[in-house]
């Protein structure tokens, strides 16, 4: 296969990664992006409708309505709500799986590693139990019962999880969600042919889905997994391609459902399984993290140091990771598993195994399992990996990058571990903000994409600009993978911060960018924000806090964004969502939303300009709070 020229590949903030991809004989997303430069203007604006056989209809000056009479505002709102419903559905699937897993473990009296996390959930849910398994069962059932309510019955845990001032505002706006699965169903029905044509009604419905996405799909998924797998603990860990050890059988994991891997990771270090690896000439098995589930395992890496070698990269790094030749199998269970890995797996004789049919890959073996069938199915998966290792290691060349990434990125940051680090109180952080030593907080979250200047380019540049302004950055999502591989989560990155933030980081021995892990950890950031607001006695929109999903990619990211808007937070996007064909939708998201929830969108694709805008927002919030 011919190598691809440098002119045809997408740039990356991670220059070592970019230089490696230039040398590859394989075709990756970095190459394909050049062939997809021509974009449909109607699609970008959201003013294309293909819901019925009279279409696809497109709105133009000469044709301002579809055949049915739908305006640009209706088309845009309908398309956007469908997108949010799809994104929300993905997250609700994840929390449902986490709750079902916890329930199965509780019924089987299995091991639970996060007893403190369980006790906190029980206290929040007003649950009492005879023992830890009884408590876990009741917690799991409480979540599942809410998810399965009809859309006309409000979910009970929303009130228990939400910050009271926010809950009150959601109630006033009439956007409290009913059963989360039913909400997704209703949104899809609502946006079908010739049903809802009220754009304002549909856009408000997006906020409703944002709340159920955030409270359940994001926040509760983390907390349920903490009970099963153990809570994050602060530590320094290696990141990047250096974590691939050729002396082991390396399994790359992709997706979002960490609880699906809890039994696999434990089984891989048991003596009989290690012997299987050794019989084929390897020292044993290792798991290499990729995408959000890799970030999640890295977050809890202190609990699985024997099997987990570290996090290699984000979604658009996965093809390059496989092209090193050092990966023997890919186990995937959800999205961010690019179809582009399939021919690479074939070429490098890498076994692909899917453990959730919702994300079945074209040339992968499906080994879906439940807690009850885990023993048989996981052993079958391991045998597949052993077989792949024997077939490929003598014939597939390796192109490893042992110097890629770094060895000391700070990980294990959560709402609990960070608070413990600060002395079990948020007062030290509040004091630093009040004194101006930390100007404010920016949550840089979400995906990575290949648009604009390239892979992680805007995200990394924006983070550098923010920390230089003494704004501490908290991250979550695939963006975290790019930021950490570029070295911004090492304690030494304090030298890139402004003078005040630099002094704080040096004193505490921390980087100016704190990694909360996967995109699911946006829910953890919300907990931090809520507890800070509660400590100060203010509502969330008053905090000197901004959000950025600079390089958002998927439908889930827009559902995340709707949660941020419902929380009342300013949200920066480097690329506008597909709503620009409707002046009404643009006005609602960038202006009118301020009076509804306090949140609003800021669209800017320049790192310096965006950082200046976000700094101005933080300074105004400081002024409103009476801070210098």
Task: Kindly list the domain boundaries of the chain, sorted by start residue.
Answer: 72-229, 241-392, 411-624
- Band of residue 5 on the pLDDT scale cut at 50, 70, 90: very low
Residue 536, classified by CB atoms within 10 Å of its CB into exposed (0-12), middle (13-18) or buried (19+), is: middle
Instruction: Residue 587: name the closest of 569, 605, 603 by CA.
Output: 603
- pLDDT given at position 3: 45
Beta strands in 5-114 (DSSP E): 48-49, 57-58
pLDDT bucket at 393, cuts 50 / 70 / 90:
confident
Q: Which CATH number fits domain 241-392: 3.40.50.720, 3.40.30.10, 3.40.630.30, 3.40.50.2030?
A: 3.40.50.2030
The predicted-structure confidence for 576-588, as pLDDT tens digits, reads as follows 999 999 999 999 9
Residue 420 neighbours by CB distance under 10 Å: 13
pLDDT, tens only, 207-235: 999 999 999 999 999 999 999 999 999 99
Q: Residue 2 pLDDT more than 70?
A: no
What mean pLDDT do residues 578-600 have? Answer: 97
Indicate the range of 1-5, 247-251, 364-368 predicted with least confidence: 1-5
Ramachandran bin of 585, using left for φ above 0, alpha for ψ from -120 to 50, beta for the remaining angles:
alpha
Residue 571 β-bridge partners: 547, 601
pTM of the model as a whole: 0.96
CA distance 133 to 136: 5
Question: Who contacts 91 (Cβ-Cβ below 8 Å, separation ≥6)?
Answer: 213, 216, 217, 218, 221, 520, 556, 559
Region of 311 please: left (phi>0), alpha (psi -120 to 50) or beta.
beta
- Residue 391: the pLDDT is 80
* Residues 254-278 pLDDT 10s: 999 888 888 899 999 999 999 999 9
The mean predicted confidence, pLDDT, of the chain is 95
Contact indicator for 220, 97 with CB cutoff of 8 Å? no
The gap between the terminal CA atoms of the chain, to the nearest Å, is 61
pLDDT bracket for residue 182 (50, 70, 90):
very high
Strand order in the sheet with 285-290: 365-366, 351-354, 329-332, 249-254, 285-290, 308-313, 235-239, 406-411
Residue 481 has pLDDT above 90, yes or no: yes
Enumerate the β-bridge partners of residue 351.
329
Q: Where are the alpha helices (DSSP H) in 443-575?
A: 457-468, 478-485, 499-508, 522-536, 555-567
Q: Do domains 241-392 and 411-624 have the same CATH topology?
A: yes
Tally of CB atoms within 10 A around 626: 7
pLDDT of residue 387: 85
Bond into 56 cis (ω within 30): yes
CA angle 522, 599, 43 (to 5 degrees): 80
Other residues' Cβ atoms within 10 Å of the Cβ of residue 620: 11
Among the listed residues 227, 547, 263, the one whose alpha carbon sits nearest the alpha carbon of residue 416: 227
Given the candidates 3.40.50.2030, 3.90.230.10, 3.40.50.10490, 3.30.70.980, the CATH classification of the domain at 411-624 is 3.40.50.2030
Task: Specify the CATH class of 72-229 in words.
Answer: mainly alpha
- Residues facing residue 513 across a β-bridge: 473
Number of H helices, E strands in the chain: 27, 16
Q: At what angle do helices 457-468 and 478-485 cross, to 10 degrees?
A: 70
pLDDT above 80: residue 89: yes
Q: How many Cβ atoms sit within 10 Å of the Cβ of residue 43?
A: 14
Q: How far is CA 267 from the centre of its chain?
A: 26
The partner residues of 286 in beta bridges, in order of sequence, read: 250
pLDDT in tens, 297-348: 999 999 999 999 999 999 999 999 999 999 999 999 988 899 999 999 999 9
Q: Give the pLDDT score at 530.
A: 98
């Amino acid at each position: 296969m011919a190598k691809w020229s440098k002119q045809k590949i997408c740039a990356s903030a991670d220059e070592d990664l970019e230089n490696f991809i230039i040398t590859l004989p394989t075709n990756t997303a970095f190459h394909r992006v050049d062939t997809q430069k021509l974009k449909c203007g109607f699609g970008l604006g959201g003013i294309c409708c293909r819901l019925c056989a009279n279409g696809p209809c497109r709105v133009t000056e000469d044709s301002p309505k579809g055949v049915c009479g739908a305006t640009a505002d209706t088309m845009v709102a309908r398309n956007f709500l469908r997108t949010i419903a799809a994104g929300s559905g993905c997250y609700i699937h994840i929390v449902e799986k986490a709750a079902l897993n916890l329930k199965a473990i509780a019924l089987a009296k299995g091991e639970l590693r996060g007893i403190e996390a369980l006790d906190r959930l029980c206290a929040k849910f007003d649950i009492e139990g005879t023992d830890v398994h009884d408590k876990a069962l009741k917690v799991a059932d409480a979540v599942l019962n809410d998810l399965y309510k009809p859309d006309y019955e409000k979910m009970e845990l929303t009130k228990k999880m939400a910050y009271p001032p926010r809950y009150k505002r959601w109630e006033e706006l009439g956007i409290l969600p009913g059963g989360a699965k039913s909400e997704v169903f209703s949104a899809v029905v609502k946006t079908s042919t010739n049903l809802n044509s009220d754009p304002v009604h549909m856009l408000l419905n997006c906020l409703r889905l944002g709340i159920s996405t955030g409270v359940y799909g994001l926040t509760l998924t983390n907390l349920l997994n903490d009970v099963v797998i153990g809570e994050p603990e602060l530590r320094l860990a290696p990141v990047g391609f250096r974590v691939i050890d050729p002396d082991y059988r390396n399994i790359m994991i992709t997706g979002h459902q960490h609880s699906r891997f809890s039994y696999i990771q434990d089984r891989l270090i048991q003596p009989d399984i290690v012997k299987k690896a050794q019989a084929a000439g390897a020292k044993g098995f290792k798991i290499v993290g990729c995408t959000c589930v890799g970030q999640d395992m890295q977050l809890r890496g202190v609990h699985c140091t024997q099997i987990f070698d570290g996090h290699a990269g984000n979604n658009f790094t996965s093809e390059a990771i496989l092209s090193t030749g050092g990966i023997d199998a890919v186990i995937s269970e959800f999205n961010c598993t690019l179809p582009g890995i399939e021919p690479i797996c074939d070429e490098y004789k890498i076994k692909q195994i899917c453990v959730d049919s919702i994300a079945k890959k074209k040339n992968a073996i499906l080994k879906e399992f439940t807690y009850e069938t885990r023993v048989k199915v996981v052993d079958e998966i391991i045998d597949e990996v052993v077989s792949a290792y024997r077939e490929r290691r003598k014939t597939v060349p390796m192109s490893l990058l042992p110097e890629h990434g770094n060895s000391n990125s700070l990980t294990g940051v959560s709402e609990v571990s960070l608070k413990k680090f600060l002395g079990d109180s948020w007062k030290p952080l509040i004091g630093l903000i009040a004194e101006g030593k930390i100007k404010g907080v920016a949550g840089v979250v979400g995906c990575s994409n290949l648009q604009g200047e390239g892979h992680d380019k805007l995200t990394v540049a924006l983070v550098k600009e923010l920390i230089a302004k003494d704004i501490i950055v908290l991250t979550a999502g695939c963006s975290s993978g790019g930021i950490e591989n570029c070295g911004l989560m090492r304690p030494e990155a304090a030298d890139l911060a402004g003078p005040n933030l630099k002094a704080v980081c040096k004193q505490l021995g921390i980087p100016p960018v704190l990694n909360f892990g996967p995109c699911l950890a946006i829910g953890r950031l919300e907990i931090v924000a809520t507890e800070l607001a509660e400590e100060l006695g203010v509502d969330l929109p008053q905090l000197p806090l901004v959000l950025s999903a600079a390089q958002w990619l998927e439908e889930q990211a827009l559902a995340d964004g709707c949660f941020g808007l419902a929380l009342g937070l300013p949200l920066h996007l480097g690329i506008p969502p597909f709503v620009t064909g409707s002046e009404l939708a643009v006005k609602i998201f960038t202006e009118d939303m301020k009076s509804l929830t306090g949140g609003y969108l800021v669209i800017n694709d320049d790192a310096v300009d965006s950082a200046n805008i976000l700094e101005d927002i933080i300074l105004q919030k400081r002024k409103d709070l009476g801070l210098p």
